[in-house]
A and B are shown apart, each in its own frame.
Chain A
Amino acid sequence: QSALTQPASVSGSPGQSITISCTGTSSDVGGYNYVSWYQQHPGKAPKLMIYDVSNRPSGVSNRFSGSKSGNTASLTISGLQAEDEADYYCSSYTSSSIRYVFGTGTKVTVL
């Protein structure tokens, strides 16, 4: 089972919107609406930002939104803020012999 593919880095200026892609297969991202996104600041534990493709947990800013088309899921951060600078990982349920797979991770830089 290979990791889901994400761009290594994405950057944007404060106030702008950015989108991070997460590409898998029909056995994971494309086959189920169980895609989630995690934010991780350096030295900290990951934090769930999006689950079930597009749902936000309580307390997560509505500047974060998720979507999916075919085998590719996306995380959009609108109104980019300095505090959004972090690593972001997608993950998906998979029908393979394992249960979950993570994406390769994307470093978001706020210029």
Chain B
Amino acid sequence: EVQLVESGGGLVQPGGSLRLSCAASGFTFSSYEMNWVRQAPGKGLEWVSYISSSGSTIYYADSVKGRFTISRDNAKNSLYLQMNSLRAEDTAVYYCARGEMTTVVIGGYWGQGTLVTVSS
């Protein structure tokens, strides 16, 4: 069974940093592209970042470019999102999502999400 479990969320002050993790199991992690998607309270979904299966290709949404860094450790079956210079508008539930090998899609499988709150 495919499982994605996010962790690392919490309360952080504006300007602070946080590192999210996504532990993957039930599939060959190193074969799949991964994405981070966020959802601010009461708002819609926003794609945040993409990383290819090998980690060699990365994309970011303009809203986080230069502040967030996506990475993965295929040996540990884990995906990460390093978030720096956090702002109030970064407050959201952050989901990790697994792409699919046969097509271009954000997420065939999703984690349950982890809440990040940026507030003083």
B91 at the interface (CB under 8 A from A): no
Closest CB of chain B to A87's CB: distance in Å? 8
Number of interface residues of B (CB under 8 A): 24
Known: A45-B95, A45-B110. A102 touches B47 (CB 8 A): yes
Candidates A1, A47, A52, A89; contact of B62 at CB < 8 Å: A1
Mask of A76-103 contacts with B, CB within 8 angstroms, 1/0? 0000000000010101010001111111
Chain B residue nearest in CB terms to A57:
B108
Binds A, one of B18-26, B79-87, B99-107: B99-107
Binding site for A on B (CB under 8 A): 35, 37, 44-47, 50, 59-62, 95, 97, 100, 103-108, 110-113
For the A-B complex with A46-B97, A46-B107, A51-B108 known, give 13 more contacts whose Cβ atoms are closer than 8 Å: A1-B62, A38-B107, A40-B45, A45-B111, A48-B108, A51-B103, A91-B105, A98-B47, A98-B62, A99-B47, A100-B50, A101-B47, A102-B44
The 23 sampled A-B contact pairs (Cβ below 8 Å) are A1-B62, A34-B105, A36-B106, A45-B110, A46-B95, A46-B110, A48-B105, A48-B107, A52-B105, A89-B45, A91-B45, A91-B105, A91-B106, A93-B104, A98-B59, A99-B47, A100-B59, A102-B37, A102-B44, A102-B45, A102-B46, A103-B44, A105-B44
